[in-house]
Structure formats: structure tokens, C-alpha cells
Structure 1
Amino acid sequence: MNVRRLIPTAALAGAVALGATALTACSGAAAGTGGGKDGKVGVTASFYPMAFLAEQIGKDHVKVDSLTKPGVEPHDLEITPRQTGQLGESDVVVYLKNLQPAVDKAVAQSGVKNIVDAATLTELEVHGSAGHDHGAEEAHAEGEGHDHDHGHGEGGKDPHVWLDPVKYAEIAKGVGAALEKADPDHAADYKKNTDELVGKLAALDTEFKDGLQNTASRTFITTHSAFGYLAERYGLDQEGISGVDPESEPSPARMKDLQAVAKKDNVTTVFFETLASDKTARTLATDTGLKTDVLDPLEGITDASQGADYFEVMRSNLKNLQKALGAK
């Protein structure tokens, strides 16, 4: 089941309400255990970006498990009855509604008191129009495209918000508040850890802003249109080959459009990701004489990831974008 359908060149988003969770890139935690161990707060996260927040904010006070194992494409996740039962034993659940239907259903049935829906912690947006993502100024002015949402959030809203450091920081604050409520004895620690994480995300935002300020091109092509929020934040144009579903086959007309875009906008590189097939990216690159490189949507960390955690992979993404766009 692939919930990843939006608009062929969408932009992205997501995030939260009342709880918290986490799993680090290297934790390799088993899917969805619940309940605290050794007096720790038991946090169950839906997938890596939510788990990372819970671990960074909760640190030694929490035990974080993820429903999505490392290497599993989160949109395709199916939850076992055992995981559903374990989810109900959690002290806190952190997830992003409308990204993983199986998780939404399990959370609704869990009966857990402290549930954080990241989608309520920041503003989700609809990205993309007629095959284009037009950056900050135009993104809100356009709403009609030739490919529409196919179940990727309410009203076609983009859930990939964690790829925008500013929006991810807003979610972090909500997760921190949820942990403070669930475990008031350690509220001061959660507050301190949240402030530190928000500071790191602000620094990352500055790195992207400065690093992408002057480039030869503002357009990038990617198989998975997960970078709408990032594109909007830093004034870039995202062109998706297959929309938000990297496994779907683009039409011949779309491939022809992208060839024209590549020529017109001085595009040098076609991006693919680590958790999905690179077939369409390599086909387009071959047909147009372009290079290929990785732009990671950070939905999970594996040995193939260009970094061990959120910050390392995001900085790799920045470096790859700078190279592809001709940053000066």
C-alpha cells in the first residue's frame, strides 16, 4: 500500500499534537514495543523522523521504539496484531497522521492517553502545480495541477514537513511539551533538550539558507516529490518524475516535459533516493545526458544512507544540492 501520491512535483509536509517518540538512525530498535523499561517512559514512534525527535528530547528518560524498521519504506508499512497490542502498552505515541494508514488505524485503537500527532504541530500545505513547485512566493498562489492527491493527507496536503528544519523545530516543541506532560518529574530536562534541538535545527536552517542563496540554477529534478517544503523554504523549484510515488511509472509526456525543463533551467542532475528504485531517475538521466545523485527524504536510515542521523543526512542533501545547482 503506497500512500505516497500527491502531485507530480509536489512539495512537502507534516506534523503533531500530544505525546512523543523516537528511534535513532543506528538504534535498530525492534518494531513497536511499548511501555517503559527500568522506569523509563515508553515511547512508540511511527517512523524515523518522529523517533529521532523523541530520542533527542527524551534522551536517558525514555525508551523509544519505532513501528517502522530501518530499511522499510514507511508508506508501505503493514502493522501486525502483535505490534498493535504492543502499541497499546506505550506511555506516549508519536506519529504523523495521514502518512501511514496502518499506523493511523492502530493508534486510533490503542487507547494510549498521550498521543502526539505531528500533523497538528505545524501547518501542512498543498504543494505543486501543473508539474511544478515554484518556491516560496508562488507555492501558495497555485493549487490546480494535472496530477492530484491520491490519499496523501487531508485535502492533498503534503506530509513531508520534517525536510524543512523550521517546521521540524515546531514539531520538536510539541513533542517536548508532550513528554513534559507525560513525565513531569523530568520536565526541566525535556525543556532543556528541546531548546538545544531547536537551536541545532535553526543552525541547519541557516546553513541551507546561506548554502543555497547563490546558485546557477534553482531547479532540481527528483524521483520522489518529497521536497516541496524544502524547496519552498529556500526558494527552489522541485520537478518530480513520478510525483510522490517513486515506484510509479511516469508518462512519456512527463518524461518529455522534464527533458525540456532540464534544458531550459540548466539542470545538471537527476536525484534518486536510498529506499526506492533509481530506475526512472537513471532512465531520464541517460536520455538527457544528465548526472545522477542522491537526495534523501529521510524516511528511514540504513547503511546506504549518506549519514548516521537526521543532521548528517540533511547536510549531505545540502552538499548534493549545492553541487547540482552550481552553488557559488
Structure 2
Amino acid sequence: MNYRRILGGMALVFLLVIAGCGGGQKSTVVEGKVNVMTSFYPLYDFAVHIGGAHVNVVNLVPAGVEPHDWTPKGRDIMNVGDSELFLYQGAGFEGWVDDFMKSVKDKKVKAVEASAGAHLLEAAEGGDGHDHQHGGESHGSSPADLKNTDPHAWLSPHNAKKMSENIKNALIEVDPAHREDYENNYEAYAAKLDGLDKLYQDSLKDLPKKEIAVSHQAFAYLCHDYGLTQMAIMGLSPDSEPTAQDMKKMREYIQEHQLQYVFFEELVSDKLAKTLAKDAGVETLVLNPLEGLTEEQIKEGQNYISVMENNLKNLVKALQ
């Protein structure tokens, strides 16, 4: 039984009561623009690029917060209900979204499952994070049609392009007056995603190693697209606890493939990755799953494409 999801649902019901009482919550809705609320960072970035000057985009998850176990507050429910668009990933990423949508069903907001029609993968079997087929079997189905789906679809530039197209179409539906601008913005951003994909293909295709050791089993889509294999300390959720046997398997994998680095991410503790690296006599590097940015990254002007480019630099270093 998924007690975390049950507790999350109970907490959301409590928040609905609070939201109904008003409580002086501050609205982030802006008059005169298309108000777009997003469930996590990549959707925010895509919507900003495609919507341009016509949209006010708000990411519900605060900077520096890991979104897997985040749940909305009363003010989030109110703001989404007052918006034109609510963009969420789907594919099982937001455990709270079903209860959330029931709370805003009578509002004007249009909810869009951004991963609809994307090329989705089944989660790796066995729970140890080892992708024996470069990310598992692929599907072109909606996440609603799949069980045990890996939700990290945005880490494929191809899927990022499809998700951006879904966002573009949603913006046109709620704001047809600016259709041409949305189309042009999408075409420009899609070209950047195509360029990112080509950069990955050209940079990784001739490297001697094809295996990576990661802290969080988030990179199946990246592996699928570029012929890599991941071995993860933890599963699809970054807070899952590895066993001593899991750590032993990781050390053996690192030694077998003569890896020099263990990848970790910024929004969760790097303790396990550093412990494993020390035990195996290797170093650590960042591989960002782009589930969110830190305050510092936002101040530096980083975005989906720049972080993906930084990821590529570290991949190239590790796969030499």
C-alpha cells in the first residue's frame, strides 16, 4: 500500500478546506496576460520560451525544492483555479495531481498533461536502476495507458520538443489572438532542441565508454536516446533507500566497467554518492535530472538547454 500517496491525499483535502476559507492568500495571477501554472521546472521553462511576452508563468514548486514528494498548498490551488492553463508532466510524476484536479474542476483553468503523446519508457525492472536495454522498452502511448512508467520523459530532447508542442497548442487554444507568435516561438525553440539533440549525438557517439553510475534512476530517456546504460544507487524516487547489497552491486559495476565517476544531483543529498565514490576509489560529478533549479542557478540565468549542455560536458568527461 502506498502510504505516502494516501497521506498526501489526506493533506490535500485539508488544504482544500483551508483554501476555501480564504486566509489572505496572495495571488500570483496577472491581469492582461495568459496565466500559466506549472507543476515543475522544465514545463515552466518551455512555457516561458513559447509564451513569450503574452504569458505570466509561475512554477508551483519553489526553487531548490525536489518535486517528487512536493504537494500543493492552499494558495497553489487558488492560483491554479484562477489561471488559464495548468501544465503538469503526467506519466506518474505528480502523485498529487488527481486529487488536485478534482479541487479545480469547476474553475476556468485548462489542465494539460504535457507528456501526452511523448515517447514513454517502462521503468527498469528489479528496482536496482540497471537499464539493460538503454532505458527499457519504448512506447508512443499516453501515460494513462501505461503501468510502471518512468516519468522522467523531459530528459530526452525529442520528448522536450513534443511537450513544447503540446504547450504551444494549449496556448493557442486559450489565446488564439496570438497564435502566430506562439507558432513562431515554438519553431525557434524546437530548433534549439534539435540542435541540442545533434550536439549530444555528435559528442557521445564515438566515446569509448557507454555506462554511467548515477545516484538517482532518472536518466533512462537520456540513455535510450544516446546508447548509454545507467546503474543507479536509488530508484525512480531520489529518496528511496538502497540496501547494502545495492551498494555492493554498484561497486562491482563501477569496477567491471572501469568507471571513474559517480554522478549525483544538486537537489538531494550527495552523501550516498560520495560514500560510494570513496569506497570505489573514484570521483563524483553532477548530472542534473532537471527536476528543479537552485536559487543560484536561476540567478545565473540557467535554463533547460544550458543545464543539458552542462550535463553533456560532464558525460563526455566521464565516458572517456
1:253 paired with 2:245, answer yes
What CA distance in whole angstroms lies between the structure 2 residues aligned with 1:140 and 1:32?
A: 45
Tell me which amino acid in the other structure corresponds to 2:137.
Answer: H
**Contact 2:68–2:237 (Cα < 8 Å) also in 1:** no
**Contact 1:223–1:242 (Cα < 8 Å) also in 2:** yes
* DSSP-derived class of the 1:257 partner: helix
Structure having the higher helix fraction is 2
1:99 paired with 2:99, answer no
Deviation, structure 1 residue 206:
0.4
**Judging changes above 3 Å, is the alpha-carbon distance between structure 1 residues 237 and 61 closer, same or farther for their aligned structure 2 residues?**
same
Question: Which residue pairs with 1:41 in the alignment?
Answer: 34
**Judging changes above 3 Å, is the alpha-carbon distance between structure 1 residues 303 and 44 closer, same or farther for their aligned structure 2 residues?**
closer
Relative to the length of structure 2, the TM-score reads 0.84
Give the alignment of 1:182-261 within 5 angstroms. Answer: 182-261=174-253
TM-align CA RMSD: 2.3
Relative to the length of structure 1, the TM-score reads 0.82
**Contact 1:2–1:245 (Cα < 8 Å) also in 2:** no
**Contact 1:71–1:300 (Cα < 8 Å) also in 2:** yes
Relative contact order (C-alpha < 8 Å, sep 6+): which is higher?
A: 1
Gaps of 5+ in 1: 4-30, 142-152
Deviation, structure 1 residue 248:
2.8
Question: Which residue pairs with 2:120 in the alignment?
Answer: 124
Residue by residue over 1:21-45, the C-alpha shift from the partner in whole angstroms, topping out at 9 and shown as x without a partner, is xxxxxxxxxx9956442x1111111
Give the alignment of 1:299-318 within 5 angstroms. Answer: 299-303=291-295, 305=297, 308-318=302-312
Question: Which residue pairs with 2:54 in the alignment?
Answer: 61
Tell me which amino acid in the other structure corresponds to 1:129.
Answer: E
Tell me which amino acid in the other structure corresponds to 1:241.
Answer: I
**Contact 1:41–1:91 (Cα < 8 Å) also in 2:** yes
**Judging changes above 3 Å, is the alpha-carbon distance between structure 1 residues 135 and 34 closer, same or farther for their aligned structure 2 residues?**
farther
Deviation, structure 1 residue 104:
3.7
Deviation, structure 1 residue 246:
2.4
1:108 paired with 2:102, answer yes
**Judging changes above 3 Å, is the alpha-carbon distance between structure 1 residues 266 and 32 closer, same or farther for their aligned structure 2 residues?**
farther
Deviation, structure 1 residue 245:
2.6
Aligned residue pairs: how many? 287
